[in-house]
Homo-oligomer: A and B are copies of this chain.
Amino acid sequence: MTSRKSIHFKLDKLKSNLAEIDGLEVSIGKIMGEEWEEPFGPTPCPSLATLREWDLKLLKRYKPFYLPYCDVCCLCTMGKCDLTAGKRGACGLDICTQQSRIVLLACCIGAATHIGHARHLVEHLIEKYGRDSPIDIGKSVGVDIQAPVTRLVYGEKPETLGDLEEVLDYVENQVTQLLASTATGQEGDKIDFESKVFHAGMIDQVGMEVADMAQISAYGFPKADPEAPLVEIGMGVIDTKKPVILVIGHNVPPSVEIIDYMGEAGLSDSVEVAGICCTSIDATRYNPRAKIVGPISWQLRFIRSGIADVIVVDEQCIRTDVLIEAKRTMTPVIATAEKNCLGLTNRTRDPADEIVADLVEGRALGALIFDPEKVGEVAVRTAMLLAPKRMKFKVIPEAKEIVEGAGKCAQCRFTPCMRACPNNLPIREAMEQAAQGDLEGLSNLYEACIGCGRCESACTNELPIHSYIIGASEKRIREERFKIRAGRGAIQDVEIRRVGGPIVLGEIPGVIALVGCANYPKGGNEVAEIAGEFAKRRYIVTTSGCSAMSIGMYRDEDGRNLYEVYPGGFDAGGIVNVGSCVSNPHIAGAAIKIASIFAKRKLRGNYEEIADYIHNRVGAVGIAWGAITQKAASIASGFWRLGVPVIVGPHGSKYRRMLLGRKDRKEDWYVYDARTGDKVFVGPCPEHLFYAAETKEEAMVMAAKLCMRPNDTPKGRMIKLAHYIDLHKRFYKVMPDDLHLLVRTEADLPITMKDEVMKILAKKGWKGNVIPDPTLLPRLVHVKEGKRDEQ
């Protein structure tokens, strides 16, 4: 397998005949804008420093607060360098700059991961469907603005799969440049690093958008469908009587081919396809009969359960010890991506028969197969043949074994198990209880256990602690039978038209995007609770990836599944699952489309103006409660550059720095009034750009607050304040202390609280403020002679 397919393609065309050369021209010509009347904005295809001035504006208000995760730098052979508190490394670097460099490195990795994924997908789909295969992510339901992010950033609108290749050339180029900036002796300024972090996030959004557009279009995933089907999720939904193929990862072609092969072979009813991470979400978008096991943290438990007869891994978020774990249950592993070869022998060119035989007979632990079609055949046939032999052989112990095993726990004084646990779970105590026959303690650890297995590595007595927790939670796991709405893809233009006004004016109190991974401090239910809370309050709740799963794997007080209670439309009170990780740009895209469709701002290559619009007007907040990966970091930074705040959970403090506003510094909270050019105080709206909350309660209160925007109408602000005050009082048991900064006019005040709040305001010496037509860009001020405040 080589990456030169696209080049080869071009070559063939060019070589064969002139007519085809013309064909090529047209396709290049098209993406180059010949059919798009909108003129270029100021910054199509921005390079590293093009949007730097915009970034500096944001970063002046939201200053990085560095949380160094290590006191030293170890990135070149002059190191390690002690950078403690003011010391500089051998290259002159200080600790804050080093942190920002690591953030950039992480975001480069994240962006590269999505872009690499997109490239692979686009190449594969072009090979399969042709380069002229149209991009259609919802034209029939009126999605006219496809690719809002690509239009905004790259400045073109791709119409075919082939058009996507040049977009990818651009983003690959930018990732390379960004990565180069992290080299020893390159960028020397922390704020410039932060600006590059924003750039990485923006580039990443383009890459993700390309990936999801390609797969929606070519595979016919739900197209901007608010009523995408409800699909099954949870360990309990897998029919263990059938052979089971487990797919893990993000790049769906192998899963698609598995499903197709099953269909062609008439085995659709005979084999279960179940998945973990985004590949499973995308498999259900392709075929709603596929099932989702759960988020990233379900890997160990499901593999060890022995339910899977074959494991197919593609790329990203896959446990690197999957071969070792799978071997224990005698489950063969098929690796399918060049990016993750797992040391397996490349069988791509071997006949399927041979590979199947080797896997079934146990002559090989797995196989590396780069051809998705062959993967489909081998996986299905192997599962069919192996299932009767394996008999779902599992390594999760029964209660008796657990009690026995727990008896061997040495009750170590300094509890290596607990100290190895990311969530500091009280394992020793649970073991003690278990040794006495009571598994409740272990079972109580289930919810907050992220399934990392570190406790086992650390245990002095090599006890399989995670397996004990799973074994002790057997009943609960059997009851993991939930629904999740399959990823719907983009937001329709008509939905935007409907909610654009209410959002911008503040009457829909906000858009809460629950995204990212499953490194939750206290379990996935917290995400679902947040989703339920805001949906009930008629915010628009959007979600994707592992967070979308966690929302599904939950029952509210009334035992209801949130996807069944709340509709999937992009509207107040909806819970909108856009899809997998690469579907995230549909959320950013919705905000962009509000600016474009509702406010008629130009999109093409006009990043700064649109970001300014969103930052000042669209009350959107991202919450990545269990963000783990570099991808999550770059996704967050894509939001930052658009001026959308992101909250992470407490583990997010390990991302090395926060971007924090200071509501006590009045001077930070001025905007231009575009009508007058005056600088107007608008209060800390939104207060932070990136921020780790300690508890879900804090996250909810803050999220409500971060939805406020300078542009809110009094009615809108009133609604937002009401939610903020209500949540604050509920969780904090006191009134907020910053109302004087958030209330502009008396009309902002929630009617029922008016007297109470007015008293508070009076004490603070509150005086009213103008509600401006807000912008941070002096050039957007409607020029009036002698009035414009140039800065």
Contacts and interface: CB of A to CB of B under 8 A. Distances in A.
Contact of A110 (B183, B319, B453): B183
Interface in A134-181: 155, 166, 168-170, 172-177, 179-181
Interface string A547-568: 0000000000000000000000
Interface stretch (A389-397, A650-658, A705-713): A650-658
A86 B462 CA distance: 12
Contacts of A119: 173, 176-177
A753 interface: no
Given A10-B32, A170-B3, A186-B113, A97 B453 contact: no
B422 A115 contact: no
Given A172-B173, A177-B119, A628-B78, A191 B339 contact: no
Given A25-B21, A49-B341, A113 B183 contact: yes
Contacts of A719: none
Contacts of A420: 82, 87
Interface string A715-751: 0000000000000000000000000000000000000
B319 A47 contact: no
Interface in A688-713: none
B177 A176 contact: no
Contact of A7 (B77, B170, B191): B170
Contacts of A185: 296, 316-320, 629
Nearest to A320: B188
Contact of A454 (B88, B113, B170): B88
A323 interface: yes
A315 interface: yes
Interface residues of A, number: 126
A322 interface: yes
B79 A186 contact: no
A70 interface: yes
- As for how many copies of this chain the complex holds, the number is 2
Interface string A453-471: 1100110000000000000
B176 A116 contact: yes
A708 to B, nearest CB: 28
Nearest to A171: B176
A202 to B, nearest CB: 13
A192 B33 CA distance: 42
A484 B27 CA distance: 52
Q: Which of A94, A166, A174, A319 has the most CB of B within 10 A?
A: A319
Interface string A289-324: 000000010000000000000000001111111111
A28 interface: yes
A29 B13 CA distance: 10
A14 B32 contact: yes
Given A108-B179, A183-B113, A186-B113, A47 B627 contact: no
A450 interface: yes
A107 to B, nearest CB: 11
Contact of A186 (B34, B47, B50, B316): B316
A112 B342 CA distance: 25
Interface stretch (A38-46, A231-239, A638-646): A38-46
Contacts of A10: 28, 32
A1 B168 CA distance: 20
A270 interface: no
Contact of A184 (B29, B155, B317): B317
Contacts of A453: 88, 90, 92
Nearest to A656: B74
B92 A630 contact: no
B629 A180 contact: no
Nearest to A341: B192
Contacts of A457: 82, 86-88
Given A176-B115, A183-B631, A343 B77 contact: no
A486 B130 CA distance: 51
A321 B190 CA distance: 11
A426 B68 CA distance: 31
B179 A175 contact: yes
Contacts of A182: 109
A69 B187 CA distance: 24
A91 interface: yes
B82 A180 contact: no
Interface of A: 1-4, 7, 10-11, 14-15, 21, 25, 28-29, 32-34, 43-50, 52-53, 69-70, 74-82, 86-94, 97, 105-106, 108-110, 112-113, 115-117, 119-120, 155, 166, 168-170, 172-177, 179-192, 195, 296, 315-325, 338-344, 346, 370, 420, 422, 450, 452-454, 457-458, 519, 627-632, 648, 651-652, 654-655
21 contacts: A2-B47, A4-B44, A4-B155, A10-B28, A52-B341, A76-B629, A76-B630, A78-B628, A82-B420, A92-B321, A92-B325, A93-B320, A93-B321, A94-B320, A109-B182, A116-B177, A116-B180, A175-B179, A188-B318, A188-B319, A189-B342
**Which 4 pairs between the two chains have the least Cβ-Cβ distance?**
A4-B45, A188-B320, A92-B321, A90-B452
Given A94-B320, A176-B176, 10 more contacts: A3-B48, A112-B176, A113-B186, A115-B180, A119-B176, A175-B175, A180-B315, A185-B316, A185-B319, A188-B342
